[in-house]
């Protein structure tokens, strides 16, 4: 998908479009040093990373706080924060990334783009922050592990948005052995084999 088609599908303002352009330029500048995204995906960055990240906003529960774990190069966290700057400016997006170099990149991007973000450069297991209405993750860990994190990071009536590849059905089956939860499978807008798992009411199954 071409850049122009991607921007049209996102239906964003000129200001948001300009910020997305600025963010893409930052990723392309830093990528040779830090490897934020696969080199081969750079020609398709608008469809594969920008649009892919932005699609989850419509599924979120917008409140004052959104946590994105394993934020890496800012997908989806920075893209979400750029879009929310216009539609939900009071929402603070917390980006969690243990890699110090990537966390440095995220801080610079958030500062340059004047985003409502906070960056946590620590492992998720040792994170001590308030739970959020929305918890997101993209290509981070198997679903059972993500639910372990979600148990303390998402509010009781909050929603988890986990972006998954073609093995998501297997991951759901594995997770249901230890966890009870409600879920919707939303087909990805950018990959016919992928899905966003929208998960609510997570409870650990008793042994």
pLDDT of 39 over the 80 cut? yes
Mean pLDDT, residues 19-34: 96
Q: What is the pLDDT of residue 139?
A: 86
Of residues 189 and 8, more confidently modeled: 189
SS3 assignment, position 12? coil
Q: What is the pLDDT of residues 132-159, one digit of tens each?
A: 999 999 989 999 999 999 999 999 999 9
pLDDT of 5 over the 60 cut? no
pLDDT of 10 over the 80 cut? no
Q: What is the pLDDT of residue 15?
A: 94
Mean pLDDT, residues 15-20: 95
Q: What is the pLDDT of residues 181-195, one digit of tens each?
A: 999 999 999 999 999
Phi-psi label, residue 139: left if phi above 0, alpha if psi -120 to 50, beta otherwise: left
**CA–CA dist 19, 79 (Å, integer):** 9
Angle between helix axes 14-34 and 3-10 (nearest 10 degrees) is 130
**CA–CA dist 114, 26 (Å, integer):** 14
Establish whether 124 is an annotated binding residue.
Answer: yes
User: Measuring CA to CA, how many Å separate 143 from each of 15, 24, 131, 157, 177?
Assistant: 35, 29, 19, 19, 11
Domain boundaries, the chain: 3-204
Q: What is the pLDDT of residue 93?
A: 98
Mean pLDDT, residues 58-68: 97
Phi-psi label, residue 2: left if phi above 0, alpha if psi -120 to 50, beta otherwise: beta
Establish whether 70 is an annotated binding residue.
Answer: yes
The mean pLDDT value of the chain amounts to 93
Establish whether 125 is an annotated binding residue.
Answer: yes
Nearest to 82 by CA among 166, 26, 141, 159: 26
Q: Is the peptide bond before 76 cis (omega within 30 degrees of 0)?
A: yes
pLDDT of 8 over the 80 cut? no
Assigned token pair, 113: 């783009």
Q: What is the pLDDT of residues 88-130, one digit of tens each?
A: 999 999 999 999 999 999 999 999 999 999 999 999 998 999 9
3-state secondary structure 112-162: HCCCCEEEECCCHHHCCCCCEEEEEEECCCCHHHHHHHHHHHEEEEEEEEE
pLDDT of 207 over the 70 cut? no
User: Measuring CA to CA, how many Å separate 156 from each of 68, 151, 176, 201, 205?
Assistant: 17, 9, 19, 7, 16
pLDDT of 37 over the 70 cut? yes
Of residues 83 and 4, more confidently modeled: 83
CATH architecture of 3-204: 3-Layer(aba) Sandwich (3.40)
pLDDT of 33 over the 90 cut? yes
Rounded to two decimals, the pTM is: 0.94
Establish whether 72 is an annotated binding residue.
Answer: no
Q: How far is CA 32 from the centre of its chain?
A: 22
């Amino acid at each position: 998908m071409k850049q122009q088609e991607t921007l049209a599908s996102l239906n964003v303002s000129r200001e948001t479009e300009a910020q997305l352009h600025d963010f893409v330029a930052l990723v392309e500048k830093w990528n040779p040093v830090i490897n934020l995204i696969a080199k081969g995906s750079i020609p398709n960055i608008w469809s594969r990373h920008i649009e892919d990240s932005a699609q989850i906003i419509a599924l979120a529960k917008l409140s004052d706080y959104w946590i994105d774990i394993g934020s890496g190069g800012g997908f989806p966290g920075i893209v979400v924060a750029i879009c929310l700057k216009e539609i939900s400016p009071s929402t603070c997006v917390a980006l969690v990334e243990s890699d110090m170099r990537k966390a440095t990149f995220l801080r610079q991007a958030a500062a340059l783009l004047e985003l409502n973000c906070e960056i946590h450069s620590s492992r998720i297991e040792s994170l001590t922050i308030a739970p959020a209405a929305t918890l997101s993750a993209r290509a981070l860990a198997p679903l059972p592990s993500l639910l372990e994190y979600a148990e303390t990071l998402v509010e009781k009536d909050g929603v988890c948005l986990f972006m998954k590849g073609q093995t998501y059905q297997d991951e759901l089956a594995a997770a249901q052995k230890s966890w009870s939860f409600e879920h919707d499978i939303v087909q990805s807008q950018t990959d016919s084999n992928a899905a966003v798992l929208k998960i609510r009411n997570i409870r650990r199954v008793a042994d």
